[in-house]
Amino acid sequence: MAKEKLTKEQEQLARFAKALGHPIRVAILQMLSKQTCCYHGDMSEILPIAKSTLSQHLNELKEAGLIQGKITPPTVLYCINKKNWALAKSLFDTLLSEDTTNNEKCC
């Protein structure tokens, strides 16, 4: 029996899930999703985290494609990446809507 390859969707979903795997990152996304435009303040004044640690979390979210940032000294603007946000929502919706009622009784 041949092993199945992972799909692009499975790999992308796992990347999004990894980025969401820390409560500070979830808080950042919740904060940014409520903004009508890009956030340009100091998030470390709002979130219970040091600036250096915040930077690492922002980088993780940017690498996953969930946020985008633009550096315009002396400020940095952060926004939700709407295209990837919609993709993440779709992938998670698909995964979490799978019907498990017909599965055999487990354990």
Go through the domains of the chain in sequence order and give each one's CATH number.
22-92 (1.10.10.10)
Strands, DSSP E only, in the chain? 67-72, 75-80
Q: Each residue's pLDDT tens digit in the chain (107 positions)?
A: 668 899 999 999 999 999 999 999 999 999 999 987 888 777 888 899 988 899 899 999 999 999 998 877 777 889 999 999 999 999 999 999 987 777 677 66
Q: How far is CA 43 from CA 7, 18, 36, 103, in A?
A: 35, 21, 16, 45
Res 20: pLDDT: 97
Res 12: pLDDT: 97
Res 107: pLDDT: 66
Query: Please, which residues have CB within 8 angstroms of residue 77's CB and are 6 or more apart in sequence?
Result: 38, 39, 40, 69, 70
